[in-house]
Structure 1
C-alpha cells in the first residue's frame, strides 16, 4: 500500500490552507472507498503530518491536529503541500524542517504536489529550480521576484514534471486532486470523484480567471511612465518603436528593461492591458464585440479574437456570455 502525506504547515497559513488539506483528504479517502467498492484494496494510507502537535488557522478560528510528526514518517510516496498565507514574502522564512523533509523524501523517490501558494514552500526547497511551475495569478509577481530561477507559467492550471506537480490558485486545488487521483488510481476513479464532488475534470488553464494589474513595484521610472502611457491611450494603435522613441530609449534596451521590470515584453503588456479593459467592458455593458474591439484599439476582428483567446483561453463572445447576464437577454 502507498503512503500519502498531506502537510499541515507550521503557521504561515490561512483558511484556504485548511480547504486544501480537508479537500485533498476527502477526495483521496473517497477514491480509496470507491476502489474498495470495486473489490480492490485501497491504494493509499493517508496521513496529515506536521512539526507541531496542533496548528492554528486564521488567528485560532480553526485548529488542526496532525496525525503524525514528519519525523515519524521515514518513507512516503506522495506529498501534498497546501496553500499558504497570502503575504507571500513571509512564506520562505519558516517551515524549514518541513522543507528539508520534503527534499529528503523526494530524493528517496516520493512525488510532491503543491496547491496554490504552496508553490512558495516547494520553490524554497530548490526542487523547482529550472522547472515549470504554476501558482495563483495573484501571487505571480512576488513569486517571480523571490524565485527567478523557476519557470513560472501562471496560465497553466497544472504542471507535471519529474514527479513534481503544481497548480493554480484558489479552489483549483480540487482539479489537482482529481488529476492526481487519475495518475495514481485510474481514469474511472477520477471521473467518479469528479462527479461526486462536482469538480470539472480536465480543466487545463486558469487564464479565464486572471485579473491583469501589471507589475509596478519595480524601480524603473521610464518603464512605469510607459505603462501609464499605454493604460491612458487604450484606443491608440501603439507600437513598441513609438514607445521606445517617446521615452528616448533604444528599442533593444527598452525591451530588456521592460521585461526585467514587468515580466512581460512591451508587446505582451500592450495586449494584456487592452484585453483586460475589454474584459471589464464585456462584464459591465451590453456592447458588441466589434464596439469593444474598437475601444481598445483593434480594427481587425480576427486579430482581436486571436489575442483575446490567447490571453483568456476563450473567445470574446464566450467571455461576454459567461460573465454578463444582461448580454444574454
Structure 2
C-alpha cells in the first residue's frame, strides 16, 4: 500500500486538491474491479482540522494533521492562488516536513504553481522544474537556482515531479498512475477522465507578453521597439545602435534581463502576433506570414512550430472558429 499525502495548503486551488484525490481513489476501484488489491492510501493532510479556501467558499476537512503522518510515499503540493508572497508565508510550516519526508524516501509532486512552495524547500536547487507559463518570470526571479523548463508539461528528477499550468497537472497525475501501477491502468484512467495521455507541452497555450520586470532601461527601450515594429526586418546591430550600446554588451544585457536572446525575443514577438492573426482573422498562412515580417515560408513554419508546438495550419484549425479554407499546410 502506497501512502499518498495531499497537502491542504492555505490559499490552495480546490481543484488541485480534489482532482488528485479523485483519480487515485478511482484507480483503487479500477484495481479492485480487475481482481487486484487497492494500492493507494490517499489522505488529506494539513496543519489544522479544517482549512477554508477561496474566501471561505469551501471548507476542506483534513484526515491527518501534519505531525500525525510518520511516513508517506507520495506528497502532492497543490496549486496556490492569490498573492504569492502571502501564500508562501502562510504555508512555511510545511517546508521542513516536506524536506524531511523526501529525505526518508517520499516522492514529491507539485501541481501548477504549487512549484513555488516546492522550490522554497530547496529540493529543486539545480534541478529542472515546470510551472504555469504565466508565472515563469516570477518563478525565475524568485528561484534563479532552479532550471525552469519553458513550456514543459511534466518534469521529473530524483523523485521530484512538477507540472505545467492549470489542467496540465492531469498529465502528471496520469504519469504517476502509470508509474505506480501500469500502462493499461493509466490508459483506463485517461479514458475514464477524458484526458489526453502523454501530452508533453503547454507551448500552444502560452501567450508571450515579454519579460519587462527588470531595471535595464536600454533593454526595455529595445523591447518596446521590437514590439512596435515586429512587422519589419529588425537586426541586432540596429537595436544596439538605437540604444547606444555596443553589440556584444547589448546582447549580454538583453539575455540577462529577459532570459531570451535578442533573436529569440524577436521571433517570439512575431509569432505571438501571428497567433493573434490566426485566432481572429480569415487570412491565409502566407498573408499572416508576411504581416509579421517573414518572407521565407519554411523559416516561418519552423519557428512557429518550435515556439507553439504546432504548425501554422494546425494552430489556425485548433483556435479559429471560422471556417478554414484551403491553406498552405
TM-score (norm 1): 0.97
Match of 2:37 among 38, 41, 47: 41
Measured after TM superposition, the shift of residue 86 of structure 1 is 4.0
For 1:196, the equivalent position in structure 2 comes to 192
Asked whether the equivalents of residues 123 and 129 of structure 1 are also in contact (C-alpha less than 8 Å), the reply is yes
Matched, 1:18 2:8: no
Q: After superposition, give the CA deviation of every residue in 1:19-68 in whole Å (9 maximum; x if it has no partner).
A: 01110011011111111111111111010001111111111011101110
For 2:27, the equivalent position in structure 1 comes to 31
Matched, 1:5 2:1: no
How far apart in 1 are the matches of 2:82 and 2:58? 17
Which of 116, 119, 124 is the matching residue for 1:123? 119
Residue equivalent to 1:174:
170
1:320 touches 1:327 (CA, 8 Å); kept in 2?
A: no
Whether contact under 8 Å (1:136, 1:154) holds in the other structure is no
- Does the CA contact (< 8 Å) of 2:204 and 2:308 recur in 1? yes
1:326 alignment partner, SS class: coil
The residue that corresponds to 1:158 in the other structure is 154
- Native 8 Å contact 1:208 1:314 kept in 2: yes
1:293 is matched with 289
Out of 72, 82, 85, the residue aligned to residue 81 of structure 2 is 85
Q: Please give the root-mean-square deviation of Cα atoms over the aligned residues, in Å.
A: 1.1
**Of residues 292, 297, 322 in structure 2, which corresponds to 1:326?**
322
Between 214-223 and 296-305, report the one with greater CA deviation: 214-223
Gaps of 5+ in 2: none
Distance of 1:22 and 1:63 partners within structure 2: 12
Partner of 1:69: 65
Q: 3-state DSSP class of the match of 1:96? A: coil
Question: 1:151-175 CA deviation, whole Å, 9 max, x = no partner?
Answer: 0113100001110000001111111
| Partner Cα separation in structure 2 for residue 215 and residue 105 of structure 1 | 36
**1:280 maps to which residue?**
276
Contact 1:88 1:139 in 2 (8 A): no
Counterpart-to-counterpart distance in 2, 1:76 and 1:210: 35
Task: Describe the superposition over 1:184-226 as per-residue Cα deviations: whole angstroms up to 9, x where unpaired.
Answer: 1110110001000000110000000001101112111111110
Relative to structure 2, which stretch is displaced further, 165-174 or 81-90?
81-90
Q: For structure 1, which runs of at least 5 residues remain unmatched after alignment?
A: none
Whether the 8 Å CA contact 1:50–1:68 is kept in 2: the answer is yes
Q: Equivalences for 1:103-114 in 2 at 5 Å? A: 103-114=99-110
1:267 corresponds to which residue? 263
Is the contact between residue 50 and residue 62 of structure 2 (CA under 8 Å) also seen in structure 1?
A: yes
The Cα offsets for residues 282-311 of structure 1, whole Å up to 9 and x where unpaired, read as 000000111111111110000000000000
Count of residues in Structure 1 that have an aligned counterpart in Structure 2: 325
The change in CA–CA distance for 1:208 and 1:86 in structure 2 (over 3 A counts) is farther
Higher relative contact order (CA 8 A, sep 6+): 1
Q: 1: CA distance between counterparts of 2:89 and 2:57?
A: 23
The SS at the match of 1:45 is strand
Choose from 93, 97, 121 the match for 1:97: 93
Q: Quick check: 1:285–1:327 contact (8 Å CA) kept in 2?
A: no
Q: In structure 1, how many angstroms separate the alpha carbons of the residues matched to 2:116 and 2:252?
A: 26
Distance (Å, rounded) in 2 between the aligned partners of 1:140 and 1:269: 15
8 Å contact from structure 1 (residues 50, 70) kept in 2: yes
